[in-house]
Amino acid sequence: MKKKNLALISVILLVLCSNTYAANEIHFYNTAGSNRYIKIVRTSDYYAWDTSSSSYSASPTWQNSAIDATESSNIPGLFLVSMPSSTVGTYDILIYRGTKSTATSTDEHVGSLSFNWSGTEKITKIDIWDDTNEISTDTLQSIEDKVDTLIAGVTDSNTWYVAKWGNDIASGHTKEDALLTVSGAISKAGDNDTILVWPGDYNESSGIDFNSLKGITIKGALPTKPTIYATPITDGSVLIIGDECRLENLRIEDISDPYLDFSYCIKGKNIANIEIIDCYMKGPRSGVFLNKNINGVRIQDTTVIVPETGIAVVGPADSNSEPFYLINSIIWGPNYDLCVSVGVDVQNCNAQISNCMIRSGAYKGSGFPIGFQTSNSICHINNCSIVSEDMGSVAKTAAGIYSTNSNDKIYLTDSIVFVNAETTVYSIYAIGNVDIRSSIFDSTKTGGAGTITDHDAN
């Protein structure tokens, strides 16, 4: 992954011009949370800003001596200042580290913004400060994409804002008039609407069911993920999603009783074209359960930490159906006092799994943890690590890959399968067909009535 060695990256500088936003405020985001102050100067041809020396070519006429930026009490790292009374024209905002009461000529200049001022704009500057002085280009692009979506929603009546300073009786169509809960936004939303959620913890009671809505997008508005948590009832879920749903940059937590029969972070049935991107999920039972005729799923850059089933997808058993993609993700099943643990369970699907870490674990219970399980599916697994461990004293059995149907076709390439159990260890247990290329196993033991072909076997 390529990285840029920059202590401070100005991701995007924007002027939001809308009559809805006439508050004359300047917002900027900085994850370091240090003190900031700004100076504002009117730009002219005679006072050009020299970026190489971080100074003006001559002594400019300042509109103000200095203005302290106030950090939001709701969102650490989000600063705002009020634009002083100024005539219409072109201005530069210079952002400095420190406070105006201790300002000196040697204070570090950490960002600047040029804009045309008509007296009504809201100016937003996003700064990303990384303590390691590095930020990946992938992360940078992801942040830019998030901000672009945020801007596009400013004047869009189909976009809803959720923030900790909000109220569910608000209009929800601006950040200043935000709603307080995601469920409050869902209650107002229609098909194909977008819900932007500011950082914070959002208690959504027993969960949110929007299975009847189509094309809903819920995403974190800033780089820091908001947490959506709930206490689902038996067989319930924090989020029950609908057709063409997209979830992005969210933390989703199930905080229910671990001894419920079933509970989930995300659940859906009879739906298509689902995207779960850059999310983190945690719970006492299962992560993602997409059941009954699921057609087209992409889970990418996502972490799921649950002790039972990380991800289960049941497709329509149609050779023309859209694939299930699992990309660049971690599915982690910790050792726990449960009887079954499956990292990824794929049924009736065409699955494409790449660049993933998948683990299942069991402890004390009746066991048989499975890293990757299939039934009546075609699965391409590329560049993955699959781990299964049974650390208990009952079943003492574990399988890395478990094919349960004679119609299964599994293609395993450039991957590692590690299995650990006290008694019985299956790297692969196949009822169907498994084709292996350039992959490594900690055990050669296989089982089942299917066909296993290792093209690299001696």
What does R_g of the chain's alpha carbons equal in angstroms?
Answer: 26
Q: Residue 16 has what pLDDT?
A: 26
Q: Residue 446 has what pLDDT?
A: 79
pLDDT tens digits along 427-443? 899 999 999 999 888 76
Q: Residue 87 has what pLDDT?
A: 64
Asked if residue 262 belongs to a domain, the reply is no
Contacts of 96 (CB under 8 A, 6+ apart): 36, 37, 38, 39, 66, 103, 107, 108, 109, 110
Asked if residue 339 belongs to a domain, the reply is yes
Task: Tell which wins on pLDDT, 425 or 343.
Answer: 343
Q: What does the pLDDT average to over 101-125?
A: 61
- Return the structure tokens found at 219: 């995403």
pLDDT at 367 over 70: no
pLDDT tens digits along 35-51? 777 777 665 534 455 55
Q: What does the pLDDT average to over 339-351?
A: 87
Task: Tell which wins on pLDDT, 406 or 111.
Answer: 406
The C-alpha atoms of residue 34 and residue 175 are separated, in whole angstroms, by 23
pLDDT at 132 over 50: no
The C-alpha atoms of residue 59 and residue 293 are separated, in whole angstroms, by 69
pLDDT tens digits along 300-343? 999 999 988 999 999 987 777 888 999 999 998 876 655 568 99
Which residues constitute the domain of residue 67?
A: 3-139
Q: What does the pLDDT average to over 276-304?
A: 91
Q: Is 152 helix (H, G, I), strand (E, B) or coil?
A: helix
The C-alpha atoms of residue 29 and residue 143 are separated, in whole angstroms, by 12
Domain end among 139, 172, 189: 139
pLDDT tens digits along 206-230? 899 999 999 999 999 888 899 999 9
Asked if residue 223 belongs to a domain, the reply is no
pLDDT at 458 over 70: no
Domain end among 114, 139, 164: 139
Strand ranges in 139-283 using DSSP code E only, listed in sequence order: 159-162, 194-197, 201-203, 208-209, 217-220, 227-230, 236-240, 246-248, 251-254, 263-269, 272-277, 280-282
Only one residue has tokens 């994850």, namely: 31
Number of structural domains (the chain) is 2
pLDDT at 237 over 90: yes
Q: Residue 125 has what pLDDT?
A: 41
Contacts of 59 (CB under 8 A, 6+ apart): 47
Asked if residue 222 belongs to a domain, the reply is no
Judged on CB neighbours under 10 Å (0-12, 13-18, 19+), 261 is: exposed
Q: What does the pLDDT average to over 162-176?
A: 89
Q: Residue 242 has what pLDDT?
A: 94
pLDDT at 10 over 50: no
Output DSSP code: residue 184.
H
> Which of 111-125, 126-140, 166-180, 419-433 is most confident?
166-180
Asked if residue 211 belongs to a domain, the reply is no
pLDDT at 126 over 50: no
Give the DSSP letter string of 295-341.
EEEEEES-EEE-SSEEEEEE----TTSPPEEEES-EEE----S-S--
- Return the structure tokens found at 423: 């008694």
Q: What does the pLDDT average to over 239-259?
A: 91
Asked if residue 257 belongs to a domain, the reply is no
Q: What mean pLDDT is reported for the chain?
A: 76
Is the CB of residue 372 less than 8 Å from the CB of residue 386? yes
Asked if residue 266 belongs to a domain, the reply is no
The b/e string for 345-374 (b: 16+ C-beta within 10 A; e otherwise) is bbbbbbbbbbebbbbbbbbebebbbbbbbb
Domain end among 139, 161, 192: 139
Q: How confident is the model at residue 28 (pLDDT cuts 50, 70, 90)?
A: low
Task: Tell which wins on pLDDT, 298 or 92.
Answer: 298
Asked if residue 147 belongs to a domain, the reply is no
Which of 281, 242, 299, 7 lies closest to 129 in space, CA to CA? Answer: 7
The percent of the chain in helix, strand and coil, each rounded to the nearest 5, is 5, 45, 45
